[in-house]
Amino acid sequence: MYADMDAASSSANTSEDSGADFSVGRTSPDGSPLFNASYSDSTIETRFTSLSDLLPSDDASFSQVRRSNLPDILDPTTAAGVVIKNICFIGAGYVGVPTAAVIALKNPFLRVTVIDRDEFRIRRWNSAHVPISEPGLDDIVRLTRDGSKACSVEAVKSSLAQRIGARSSKISIPARQPNLTFATASSKSMAEADMIFICVNTPTKVTGIGAGYATDMTAVESVVKEVAVNAKTGAILVEKSTVPCRTAKLVQDILDTYRPRARFQVLSNPEFLSEGTAVKNLLHPDRVIIGSSNTIPGRRAAAALAKIYSTWVDRSKILGTHVWSSELAKLVANAMLAQRISSINSISAICEGTGADVHEVAKSIGLDPRIGPQFLKAGLGFGGSCFRKDIGSLVYLARSLGLHEVGDYWNQVLLINDLQRKRFARKVISRLNGTLIRKKITLLGFAFKKDTGDTRESVAIDIIRVLLEERPAEVAIFDPCCSVAGIQSELENLGGHDALNVYADPYQACLDADAILVVTDWDNFRMASTPDHTNIKRPQSPTDLTSSTSTIVADRADGFLNLSKDQYLPEPPCPSNCPECAYSFPSFNTEEHLEWARISYHMKKPKLVFDGRGILNATEMEKLGIRVEALGKAESGFTLF
Ligand SMILES: NC(=O)c1ccc[n+]([C@@H]2O[C@H](COP(=O)([O-])OP(=O)(O)OC[C@H]3O[C@@H](n4cnc5c(N)ncnc54)[C@H](O)[C@@H]3O)[C@@H](O)[C@H]2O)c1
Ligand SMILES: O=c1ccn([C@@H]2O[C@H](COP(=O)(O)OP(=O)(O)O[C@H]3O[C@H](CO)[C@@H](O)[C@H](O)[C@H]3O)[C@@H](O)[C@H]2O)c(=O)[nH]1
């Protein structure tokens, strides 16, 4: 797979490179010539002859002035004269909309427009059926998209009132004008924008040079061309998407090619939010990184962006860097986080062979402040749309620079992640006596992590693939947040299979299961924190699947806004034939815990539950007759002493 990469740096004049379809061109680390219509193939060849071509020093537009002589981006005077009134976000996805909505919320005098070519997505953002399930997001979208009514709230309950020292028992909140719009029409929104955020997807290439590792820049390239044609001169382009290091040069090259006389500034402002906590992360970021060129206009553009963030982010958390550092920092942040997960997962395999408990090991090492407790949760490994692709991009970058050992080092993080899923699936098969024929296996969870309905790079798919090879009678799937139709469409990647069934009810999914696999760390799948087995209502008959469950307090992001429900304006009405109104979502109340006693009653012996996320208390489950097998703990029956 990598053989082509070295060849590419010395001989780019291949059939892939010379074709007009840029989607299959090299994208990292220095793909800009391939995206620049003005370069001939011979130009490309000259530019790829040595490693020094890949280094920033050759790039005048990004390194004109020594950094020490540049104005401070946090100094409000640096942005003087840069007027930002209209902002356009391109890409109405998991990053584009939460970021746009929070910027709109905190900057009521800015007009924010989110555009996307996906009409279905835009229609849903303009409806009561927002397409992304993210705690707190629907509140912010409603407030910024629809505006709000004036109202008063009880001061005693309001942290806002406490902060402003209000004496009255009520404080008045004025009406708010809408300042967030969703649209498919792109050229007008781009033409009006003073600042344009690129938030489109940057997946891994699936074919061509670097397939499986390099970033597919098709969407970025396409929107930058549109921006070049439509944007007003002086507009600031912000890379919000995660992109390979030196993409800003690629962007600048495209702009120069299509609008040679216009002047644009290109910034890098990577996003670090995690799904499930996106609103929380955006409202309280650890840091905001703004990368710019080493030029005065570059720093002024960075200062203008810093000013927008500083309406709610402490200036000490806003860091100005060179654009290459900012682009690379995003890949490195994800690689370091994922590396911790693979490191602890590699230890989980050792634990299984030695009798140590990986959770005890993780806790023990996490107490060392130099190591810290975060991202040491052993289990099925990382899924999601980011970690795999971003490490792939880093591996590709290193190998393209001839740093093969460095590439191999980071690639090992991916290999350990794959291994963990395989080990889990093999463990299930082995515990079920090596055969799944005539057996029902239930997967609890399909989303790549809790508190999201996102199924991209779901761990579940890989596990199901292995299970299906053993020809089970049924693989049943339940997730509290993913729609049945959404899971079914993901399963189509497996080529469709009669044995696969998606349930909207967890108890139906678990009925008569030979084994249950906990695949996502949903809090609902944990046992209630104070289990009292004497009080657990046992079903009277195997068909009694109706009893209610205990309640947990969900860690939701609501309340961030100090909002009274009286403030909301009515949501846009749905047409009578609204397809989303007919969508089937799980009937399960997402603020309830599963009743494991009830599940146990309906399971087949030996009542095996495989805990892929380390969220179940094996001792408590044993009281219900359930045997829990987990990654990172000694094999059942293993005794050292
Ligand atoms: N999802 C996350 O948690 C997260 C966090 C940080 C960074 N990122 C990065 O942000 C970027 C976007 O990720 P996402 O999860 O929001 O992706 P997404 O798939 O949810 O959204 C991307 C959107 O871009 C739209 N799009 C693609 N090409 C377009 C075009 N030519 N014109 C208009 N719209 C177009 C798509 O229709 C889609 O709605 C990626 O680079 C990703 O790596 C994602
Ligand atoms: O100790 C841990 C922590 C996480 N995970 C798994 O790792 C994956 C990713 O989790 P998380 O990082 O919480 O979610 P993401 O939404 O993928 O966020 C990551 O990817 C984003 C996209 O680039 C970045 O912005 C975030 O900073 C980065 O945390 C999930 O499958 C988790 O189950 C573990 O297995 N063990």
**Percentage of the residues of the chain whose pLDDT score is greater than 90:** 67
Confidence of residue 536 (pLDDT cuts 50, 70, 90): very low
Instruction: Determine which of 58-62, 411-415, 616-620 has the lowest per-residue pLDDT on average.
Output: 58-62
Q: Is 118 in the pocket of ligand 1 (CB under 6 A)?
A: yes
Q: Is the pTM of this model over 0.90?
A: no
378-397 confidence digits (pLDDT tens): 999 999 999 999 999 999 99
Q: What is the dihedral of CA 533, 534, 536, 539, to 10 degrees?
A: 120
Shared-domain flag, residues 380 and 248 = no
Do 45 and 106 fall into the same domain?
Answer: no
- pLDDT score recorded for residue 193: 98
Q: Which ligand 2 atom lies nearest to the CA of residue 338?
A: 7
Q: Does residue 70 have a known ligand-binding role?
A: no
Residues 439 and 479 in one domain: yes
Residue nearest to atom 22 of ligand 2 (CA): 386
Asked if pLDDT for residue 533 goes beyond 70, the answer is no
Q: Whose CA is nearest to atom 3 of ligand 2?
A: 375
Does residue 33 sit within a domain? Answer: no
Residue 16 confidence (pLDDT) above 60: no
Establish if 541 belongs to a structural domain. yes
Is the Cβ atom of 242 under 6 angstroms away from ligand 1? yes
Query: Does the structure show a pLDDT above 80 at 107?
Result: yes
Residue 473 main-chain phi, psi, to 5 deg:
-65, -40
For the Cβ of 143 lying below 6 angstroms from any atom of ligand 2, the answer is: no
- Measured CA to CA, the distance from residue 95 to residue 108 in angstroms comes to 20
389 is in an annotated binding site: yes
Secondary structure (DSSP) of 181-237: EEES--HHHHHH-SEEEE-----B--SSTTTTTSB--HHHHHHHHHHHHHSPTT-EE
Count: domains in the chain: 3
* Residue 272 annotated as lining a ligand binding site: yes
Whether pLDDT at 67 is above 80? no
Q: Are strands 515-518 and 440-444 parallel, antiparallel or unpaired?
A: parallel
State the pLDDT at residue 558.
39
For residue 240, being part of any structural domain is answered with yes
Q: Same structural domain for residues 340 and 309?
A: no
Q: How confident is the model over 472-479, as a mean pLDDT?
A: 96
Same domain (yes/no): 413, 276 = no
Q: What is the pLDDT of residue 592?
A: 83
The answer to whether residues 265 and 294 touch, using CB atoms and an 8 Å cutoff, is: no
User: Is the residue at 574 inside a domain?
Assistant: no
Mean pLDDT across the chain:
83
What pLDDT is stored for residue 15 in this prediction? 32
What separation in Å is there between the alpha carbon of 385 and the centre of ligand 1?
Answer: 10
Q: How confident is the model at residue 14 (pLDDT cuts 50, 70, 90)?
A: very low
Query: How far away, in angstroms, is 218 Cα from ligand 1 center?
Result: 12
What pLDDT sits at residue 494?
Answer: 81
Per-residue confidence band for 590, with pLDDT thresholds at 50, 70 and 90: low
Main-chain dihedrals φ then ψ at residue 100, nearest 5 degrees? -60, -40
> Does ligand 1 have an atom closer than 6 angstroms to the CB of 271?
yes
Q: Is the CB of 268 under 6 A from ligand 2?
A: no
Task: List Cα–Cα distances, 320 to 201, 247, 267, 469, in angstroms.
Answer: 24, 18, 10, 51
pLDDT at site 50: 30
Nearest residue CA, atom 36 of ligand 1? 91
Confidence tier at 492 by pLDDT (50, 70, 90): confident
- Residue 221 — pLDDT band, cuts 50, 70, 90? very high
Report whether pLDDT(43) > 50.
Answer: no
Counting ligands in written order, the one closest to the CA of 95 is 1
> Mean pLDDT, to the nearest integer, of 338-343?
98
State the pLDDT confidence band at 486, using cuts at 50, 70 and 90.
confident
Ligand 1 pocket member 223 (CB < 6 A): yes
Predicted confidence (pLDDT) at residue 360 exceeds the cutoff of 80: yes
Query: pLDDT class for 586, splitting at 50, 70, 90?
Result: low
Q: Which residues contact 30 (CB under 8 A, 6 or more apart)?
A: 47, 48, 53, 54, 246, 249, 400
Q: Which residue has the higher pLDDT, 134 or 529?
A: 134
Q: State residue 577's pLDDT score.
A: 79
Q: Is the dihedral of CA 247, 253, 256, 258 positive or negative?
A: negative
Q: Is 95 in the pocket of ligand 1 (CB under 6 A)?
A: yes
Residues 309 and 359 grouped into a single domain:
no
Consecutive H or E run containing 2: none
Q: In 3-state terms, what secondary structure has residue 285?
A: coil
268 with 348, same domain: the answer is no
pLDDT of residue 531: 47
Judged against a pLDDT cut of 80, whether residue 616 lies above it is answered with yes
Across the range 339-350, mean pLDDT stands at 98
Answer yes or no: is 572 within a domain. no
If asked whether residues 258 and 367 sit together in one domain, one would say no
35 inside domain: no
Between 558 and 284, residue with greater pLDDT: 284
Q: Give the atom of ligand 1 at the shortest distance from the alpha carbon of 95.
A: 16
Summarize pLDDT for 313-324 with one digit per residue, the tens.
999 999 999 999
Residues pairing with 87 in the sheet: 112, 195
- CA dist 394 and 346 (Å) reads 21
405 and 481 both lie in a single domain: yes
Q: Which ligand is nearest to the CA of 23?
A: 1
Active site residues: 386
Q: Within this chain, do residues 290 and 405 fall inside the same structural domain, yes or no?
A: no
Domain extent at residue 117: 80-146+175-313
Q: In what order do the strands lie in the sheet with 627-630?
A: 500-503, 474-478, 440-444, 515-518, 608-611, 627-630
**Ligand 2 binding pocket mutation candidate from 386, 393, 463, 518 (most atoms within 8 A of CB):** 386
Q: Is the ipTM of this complex over 0.95?
A: yes
Look at residue 51 and tell me whether its pLDDT is greater than 60.
Answer: no
Best-predicted range by mean pLDDT (35-49, 64-78, 502-516)? 502-516
C-alpha dist (Å) from residue 91 to 202, 221, 569: 11, 13, 26
Asked, for residue 329, whether it belongs to a domain, the answer is no
552 pLDDT exceeds 50? no
In the chain, the amino acid numbered 200 is V
The answer to whether 246 touches 29, Cβ cutoff 8 Å, is yes
pLDDT at 161 over 60: no
Q: Looking at residue 370, what is its pLDDT? A: 98
How many CA atoms lie less than 13 Å away from 153 in the CB half-sphere? 22
pLDDT tens digits along 232-280:
999 999 999 999 999 999 999 999 999 999 999 999 999 999 999 999 9
Predicted confidence (pLDDT) at residue 32 exceeds the cutoff of 70: no
pLDDT at position 489: 84
Q: What is the CA radius of gyration of the chain?
A: 26
pLDDT higher than threshold 50 for residue 557: no
Ligand 2 centroid vs 97 CA: distance in angstroms?
19
Residue 26 — pLDDT band, cuts 50, 70, 90? Answer: very low
CB-side neighbour CA atoms (13 Å) of 421 = 21
Q: 475 and 404 share a domain?
A: yes
Residues 236, 380: one domain?
Answer: no
Q: Would the pLDDT of 398 be above 80? A: yes
**Domain at 537, CATH number:** 3.40.50.720
Residue 284 lies in a domain: yes
